[in-house]
Amino acid sequence: MTVLKDVFRIFYPKLCANCENLLSKNEKIICTFCRHDIPLFHPTNFSENKISKIFYGRIIVEKATSLLAFRKEGITKKLIHALKYNGNQEIGVFLGNWFGEILKKNNAFDDIDCIIPVALHPKKQKQRGYNQVSKFGKTLGCHLNKPFLEDLLLRTAKSKTQTFKTRFDRLDTIDALFHVKNKALLKNKHILLIDDVITTGATIEACAKELQKIKNVKISILTMAYTE
């Protein structure tokens, strides 16, 4: 089996998602050099940080965090773009393993009951073929030993892509509506709501408001990246 894998690597070499140099056997998605250059956001205080402050006066958030810092140019932007638009879903697994190992060690999210992703509109998901945070969420769930519930939060209205918009532009362009099915399953639950990139928090706010209509629901937020 090892020989076959080596042969496969010769004819189908894996390249770094950032610099496009060949990856070694022990490297996944990005090379060691690029990984050291990725800007991290991950805070030590999960209740008081830049993300939690976004939602002051808007929704009640128990904890909030993100792994990477998202900038106009750089490695994070290339990774998210490749994940969303180039079909490289293994980036979600890579980031899920990375963040999952961190969170498992600090026990900060041990009190959550389940993980729910921000939903895509069915037409967009059909066009893309997947929700970009699905594998990220499933991988996190494995590390935290929590169920990943992908089909409970539904998007009922479509909004244009937000990835390349500024904070100011986003504030007035979120018109997405969300619906929760099987609400009884989430009663009295602490939900970890996940997404790829957070900028103004408008989309996550819309999701959280719908979820918080359920009795005694608590919301924590986790994303792959935070826009600086």
Contact criterion met (CB below 8 Å) for 170 and 197:
no
Return the H-helix or E-strand segment holding 97. helix 90-106
CB neighbour class for 116 (10 Å; exposed up to 12, middle 13-18, buried from 19): buried
Q: What is the pTM of this model?
A: 0.87
Give the tokens for residue 45: 């205080």
Does the pLDDT at position 5 exceed 50? no
pLDDT exceeds cutoff 90 at 1: no
pLDDT in tens, 168-221: 454 444 545 899 999 999 999 999 999 999 999 999 999 999 999 999 999 999
Residue 79, token pair as written in the block = 């990774």
Lowest mean pLDDT among 31-40, 161-170, 215-224: 161-170
In angstroms, the CA 220 to CA 14 distance is 36
Do 96 and 143 touch, CB atoms closer than 8 A? yes
- The domains located in the chain, with CATH, are 1-37 (no CATH), 40-227 (3.40.50.2020)
Query: pLDDT at position 159, please?
Result: 57
How far apart, in whole angstroms, are the C-alpha atoms of residue 33 and residue 24?
12
Residue (of 134, 74, 68) closest to 98 by Cα position: 68
Across 4-8, 84-88, 109-113, least confident range = 4-8
pLDDT in tens, 80-109: 999 999 999 999 999 999 999 999 999 989
Residues in the chain: 228
- pLDDT value for 11: 43
Crossing angle for the helix pair 75-85 and 90-106, to the nearest 10 degrees: 120
